[in-house]
A and B are shown apart, each in its own frame.
Chain A
Amino acid sequence: MSVVMTPSQVATAVDASAPVLVVRDLQKSFGGVRAVDGVSFSVEAGTMLALIGPNGAGKTTCFNMLNGQLKPDKGEVVLAGRPITGIKPRAVWRMGVGRTFQITATFTSMTVRENIQMALISHAGEIFSPFGRARDKYREAADALLGQVGMESQADRACGVLAYGDLKRVELAVALANQPKLLLMDEPTAGMAPRERIELMALTAEIAAAKGIAVLFTEHDMDVVFTHSDSVIVLDRGRLIAHGTAEQVRHDPNVRAVYLGSGATSGGH
């Protein structure tokens, strides 16, 4: 499917030369163990940055400090020039950060469209309103978002009955509802079949480029990482051990030793 850009979207995509997300010297310890230790990086508008590393390297901790679930001990997170360090998840969202979860998180008692409407209602600041029917609010906007991810034909279905890949698309549409500057995706393709993985990430890259959204994602599938990231950062034991293009990281001997291995079981690269 194609993503049509309005002139204003093109403008934001072009003049966003400064990084959308800047992370400086992030640090977090649990019981004396440094889970994340002095991590710094940045993500530019319209680009995809992959965060990879062995299990227990600190990826999740790092992610949770960006989305507001954890407070860093030290360091700074800056979104489009404004500090968002240590603020709550819902405040992070209000600042323009969309999220998808490793385990899909949708509202099962609502239809696909209502899930999007809920996010739009919240974006409009109307969640405390006891008046009016929620089903009638922002219907067109919700359908437009569903159209972008190719889910308009399933708008009236319950989220609970969707195929897993479709659920991931719904999540993507929810994450786009607040017109985010930054999209955080925690293992976006976990549990999906190989082709679905590629399709979802291609769609994400397309939307990100069109709307000038910066994307940061964690991933274990090296096919996805090497096909869909503009650059890659590698964490090991809380420290950043490599940062570069997919090609550079792939040939880094250090990364091969701690993370990639020989490639025999993951697609042979």
Chain B
Amino acid sequence: MFDLILTQTLNGLASASSLFLVASGLSIIFGVTRIVNFAHGSLYMLGAYIAWTLVSRFGPADALGFWGGVVLAALLVGMIGVVIEVLILRRIYQAPELFQLLATFGVVLMLQDLTLATWGAEDKLGPRAPGFKSFVILFGNRFPTYELFLIAVGPLVLLVLWLLFQKTRWGTLVRAATQDREMVGALGVNQRLLFTSVFFFGAMLAGLGGALQLPREAVNLHMDLAMISEAFVVVVVGGLGSVTGAYLAAILIGILHAFGILIFPKITLVLVFLVMAVVLVVKPYGLMGKAPVGHARGHGPAEPLLLPADNLTKLAGLIGLAVLALAPLVAPDHILLTLTELVIFALFAASLHFMMGPGGMASFGHAAYFGLGAYGAALAVKWLGAPMEPALLFAPFLAGIAGVVFGWFCVRLSGVYLAMLTLAFAQIAWATAFQWVEVTGGDNGILGVWPSSWAASKFAFYYLALIICAASILALRLTIFSPLGYALRAARDNPLRSEAIGIDVMRIQWIAFIVAAFAAGIAGALFAFFKGSVFPTYMAIPRSVDALLMVLLGGVQTVSGPIVGAFAFAGLSEQLMKATMYWRFVLGFSIVLLVIAFPRGLVGASLLGLERWRGRPEAAAKPVLATEAGR
């Protein structure tokens, strides 16, 4: 038993090293640029692929060939990081953090297709490392020396980082910029160069992490998202911005995985989740993290005034609804199918908007609730033999319950921390659906989730979806203008003031989280019956990003934005899918362009234009003075 524990501990420590390299790079980049680099997992993946190519070319058996390849790969990935920083991130340092996250996700999509185009779809098997091909016998077990080498890499890198940050001028500048980058610039430090160098460094660490995995696992196209969600967990647990915290957390997560696989292979993720939960309850900003202080610095503009719809908007809404209601009379079947999907997505987007706009909580994992709604319906049909009606009723509660549990943790955090945590939860939900084959059918999904006979026609199902979605969206809208919605907005605008007038900020945000999850669950359940089947992809990161895009395309600060956004996005992506095999690249590229061009979203941008056109200085001036006066 003892030797087993020891081997698993060593296994865990070995896998922790790469995780640490990626997470610390992520953390350092975030510290200085305030950008959570979603593409950090992609840089890790590139590190592995590039190392594979270089090592194969230089001669894998030769020590210089192997190690030279690994180091060169890390440096090349650092250079790729520089290219990304200079071409994209530099243009969006002033944009809201959510848009920055989204832009880096665009980079993820682009790199995915670039990798696919360069290296093809098959996994690449790497060579073993020269000099570390043997085993050592530890307590009667054979243990690869390469694993021991990896275990040593972690603390070694930690030491190097510590020396770099404490003992060099560059390190001092990086630490200063982490606290107040604008001030560093005003003191004569070339900020651009500093940012670029930090990005190079962080990217290089990720690349090194990937390259070092070469002898351990087959290089594949899923390494990016798998790594980034784990790295998010690590930085949330360790504390964003703390390198030591990242190391501790990486070790913790690494060991948990090692033992989890041994003891309960099916619920490894649940174990990670539980540990994360405990850490966050005790230390909301992670083991070594501190509450963010930069918030009061006035970088983010104050939230603009939100007024109820005027008659024109109401009229537009009614006309829109009337058009949708009359559409089936003229529209052919395939258009009707598209419309059904659009209506469902509009509710999905509206549910996300509810927590993001008035709630101020950006979720990067909203697909979890959509997916749980879909699975709720499918499981009710498959395991309980329920017909459509009760299944539709039951499903949103499954999503709502997940909202209760996940939300409880998430509302303890804010901003990018919260976004990262929602993503981690969504990954857990996805992995559960993927791994728990007995119940969910795993990758094969659950088939045969068909509506009751009265709703089976495209025509009838369209009306069912339209009625449920329109009613739900209306209910969300009314809630936004109710006392609850106002309290939610108050909590977002100024948590300190809210608490000082008796508003329990966390509870009100928790309620909003649950409501949003429930509403997404309704959309998911309808979607399940619409498609007749459910798959784990319903909960995957890309679907969460779809929802975000819909909301952001429409504009977070407007209530009608998400609906417009849903229609715009769904239409767009449908065309993309048909047009090219490399649709990910095109989509990612469009996201990046969109973020650079329209940081306020479509509806937000047109409203701004309208304000200017009408010459209403009152409305146009507001964010400004608030920041100025709020100091």
- Judge A-B direct contact (beta carbons within 8 Å): yes
Q: Are A132 and B502 in contact (CB under 8 A)?
A: no
Contacts of A106 in B (CB 8 A): 493-494, 497
Q: Which of A109, A122, A137 contacts B501 (CB 8 A)?
A: A122
Q: Are A103 and B631 in contact (CB under 8 A)?
A: yes
Across the two chains, which residue of chain B brings its CB closest to A164?
Answer: B629
Q: Which of A93, A111, A161 contacts B500 (CB 8 A)?
A: A93
Q: Which of B296, B483, B496, B619 contacts A127 (CB 8 A)?
A: B483
Q: Which of B611-631 contact A (CB under 8 A)?
A: 618-619, 621-626, 629-631
Contacts of A117 in B (CB 8 A): 486
Q: Are A109 and B493 in contact (CB under 8 A)?
A: yes
Q: Are B626 and A121 in contact (CB under 8 A)?
A: no
A133 to B483, CA, bound (A): 7
Across the two chains, which residue of chain B brings its CB closest to A92?
Answer: B500
Q: Are B497 and A122 in contact (CB under 8 A)?
A: no
Across the two chains, which residue of chain B brings its CB closest to A159?
Answer: B626
A128 to B305, CA, bound (A): 22
**Interface residue? A108 (CB, 8 A):** yes
A133 to B496, CA, bound (A): 24
Q: Which of A97-144 contact B (CB under 8 A)?
A: 99, 101, 103-111, 114, 117-119, 121-123, 126-135, 137
Q: Which of B479, B487, B621, B630 contacts A121 (CB 8 A)?
A: B487
**Interface residue? A85 (CB, 8 A):** no
Contacts of B30 in A (CB 8 A): none
Across the two chains, which residue of chain B brings its CB closest to A167?
Answer: B629
Q: Are B618 and A121 in contact (CB under 8 A)?
A: no
Q: Are B489 and A109 in contact (CB under 8 A)?
A: yes
**Interface residue? B499 (CB, 8 A):** yes
**Interface residue? B490 (CB, 8 A):** yes
Q: Are A110 and B481 in contact (CB under 8 A)?
A: no
Q: Which of B482, B496, B499 contacts A130 (CB 8 A)?
A: B482
Contacts of B490 in A (CB 8 A): 107, 110, 118
Q: Are A127 and B500 in contact (CB under 8 A)?
A: no
Contacts of B500 in A (CB 8 A): 67, 89-90, 93, 99, 101, 105
Q: Which of B474-529 contact A (CB under 8 A)?
A: 478-479, 481-487, 489-490, 492-494, 496-497, 499-504, 508, 511
Q: Are A107 and B497 in contact (CB under 8 A)?
A: yes
Contacts of B631 in A (CB 8 A): 103, 191
A126 to B296, CA, bound (A): 29
Size bracket of the A interface:
35 or more
Q: Which of B29-65 contact A (CB under 8 A)?
A: none
**Interface residue? B180 (CB, 8 A):** no
Q: Which of B485, B619, B626 contacts A108 (CB 8 A)?
A: B626
**Interface residue? B302 (CB, 8 A):** yes
Q: Are A109 and B484 in contact (CB under 8 A)?
A: no
Q: Are A132 and B483 in contact (CB under 8 A)?
A: yes
Q: Are B482 and A160 in contact (CB under 8 A)?
A: no
Q: Which of B296, B482, B493, B618 contacts A132 (CB 8 A)?
A: B482
Contacts of A104 in B (CB 8 A): 629-630
**Interface residue? A174 (CB, 8 A):** yes
Q: Which of B442-492 contact A (CB under 8 A)?
A: 478-479, 481-487, 489-490, 492
Q: Which of A89, A103, A134 contacts B483 (CB 8 A)?
A: A134
A90 to B498, CA, bound (A): 8
Q: Are B479 and A118 in contact (CB under 8 A)?
A: no
Q: Are B511 and A88 in contact (CB under 8 A)?
A: no
A106 to B492, CA, bound (A): 11
Across the two chains, which residue of chain B brings its CB closest to A88?
Answer: B499
**Interface residue? A157 (CB, 8 A):** yes
**Least CB distance, A220 to chain B, in whole angstroms:** 16
Contacts of B630 in A (CB 8 A): 103-104
**Least CB distance, A55 to chain B, in whole angstroms:** 17
Q: Are A130 and B484 in contact (CB under 8 A)?
A: yes
Q: Are A133 and B501 in contact (CB under 8 A)?
A: no
A118 to B503, CA, bound (A): 10
**Interface residue? A158 (CB, 8 A):** yes
Q: Which of A88, A101, A126, A130 contacts B497 (CB 8 A)?
A: A101
**Interface residue? B303 (CB, 8 A):** yes
Q: Are B481 and A93 in contact (CB under 8 A)?
A: no
Size bracket of the B interface:
35 or more
**Interface residue? A178 (CB, 8 A):** yes
Q: Are A93 and B502 in contact (CB under 8 A)?
A: yes
Q: Which of B489, B511, B618 contacts A158 (CB 8 A)?
A: B618
**Interface residue? B327 (CB, 8 A):** no
Interface string of A145-166 (1 = CB under 8 A from B): 0000000000001111110100
Q: Are B302 and A108 in contact (CB under 8 A)?
A: yes
- Knowing A103-B630, A158-B618, say if A90 contacts B503 (CB, 8 Å): yes
- Knowing A130-B479, A132-B482, A161-B621, say if A110 contacts B305 (CB, 8 Å): yes
Contacts of B629 in A (CB 8 A): 104, 162, 164, 167
Across the two chains, which residue of chain A brings its CB closest to B621?
Answer: A161
Across the two chains, which residue of chain B brings its CB closest to A114?
Answer: B486
**Interface residue? A177 (CB, 8 A):** yes
Contacts of B303 in A (CB 8 A): 108-109
Contacts of B441 in A (CB 8 A): none
**Least CB distance, A68 to chain B, in whole angstroms:** 8
Kindly name the residue among A107, A114, A135, A167 whose own CB sees the greatest number of chain B CB atoms within 10 A.
A107
Contacts of A162 in B (CB 8 A): 625, 629
- Knowing A108-B622, A121-B487, A158-B305, say if A131 contacts B482 (CB, 8 Å): yes
Contacts of A128 in B (CB 8 A): 483-484, 487, 508, 511
Q: Are B481 and A126 in contact (CB under 8 A)?
A: no
**Interface residue? B159 (CB, 8 A):** no
**Interface residue? B308 (CB, 8 A):** yes
- Knowing A93-B502, A105-B497, A160-B302, say if A133 contacts B482 (CB, 8 Å): yes
**Interface residue? A34 (CB, 8 A):** no
**Least CB distance, A174 to chain B, in whole angstroms:** 7
- Knowing A121-B483, A131-B482, A132-B482, say if A160 contacts B622 (CB, 8 Å): yes
Contacts of A82 in B (CB 8 A): none
Across the two chains, which residue of chain A brings its CB closest to B308?
Answer: A135
**Least CB distance, B615 to chain A, in whole angstroms:** 15
Contacts of A256 in B (CB 8 A): none
A107 to B629, CA, bound (A): 13
**Interface residue? B306 (CB, 8 A):** yes
Q: Are B483 and A137 in contact (CB under 8 A)?
A: yes
A108 to B618, CA, bound (A): 13
**Interface residue? B304 (CB, 8 A):** yes
Q: Are A129 and B483 in contact (CB under 8 A)?
A: yes
**Interface residue? A251 (CB, 8 A):** no
Contacts of B493 in A (CB 8 A): 106-110
Q: Are A122 and B503 in contact (CB under 8 A)?
A: yes
**Least CB distance, A158 to chain B, in whole angstroms:** 4
- Knowing A104-B629, A118-B487, A133-B482, say if A94 contacts B502 (CB, 8 Å): yes
Across the two chains, which residue of chain A brings its CB closest to B360?
Answer: A109
A161 to B490, CA, bound (A): 17
Contacts of B479 in A (CB 8 A): 130
The 5 closest A-B pairs by CB, nearest first: A160-B626, A160-B622, A105-B497, A108-B302, A127-B487
Q: Mind listing 24 A-B residue pairs with CB under 8 Å?
A: A89-B499, A90-B503, A93-B500, A93-B501, A101-B497, A104-B630, A108-B493, A108-B622, A109-B489, A109-B493, A110-B305, A121-B483, A122-B487, A123-B502, A126-B483, A127-B503, A128-B483, A128-B508, A128-B511, A131-B482, A132-B482, A161-B621, A164-B629, A174-B501
A158-B622, A161-B621 known; 5 new pairs, CB 8 Å cut-off, are A107-B493, A117-B486, A122-B501, A122-B502, A122-B503
B residues whose Cβ falls under 8 Å from a Cβ of A? 296, 302-306, 308, 478-479, 481-487, 489-490, 492-494, 496-497, 499-504, 508, 511, 618-619, 621-626, 629-631
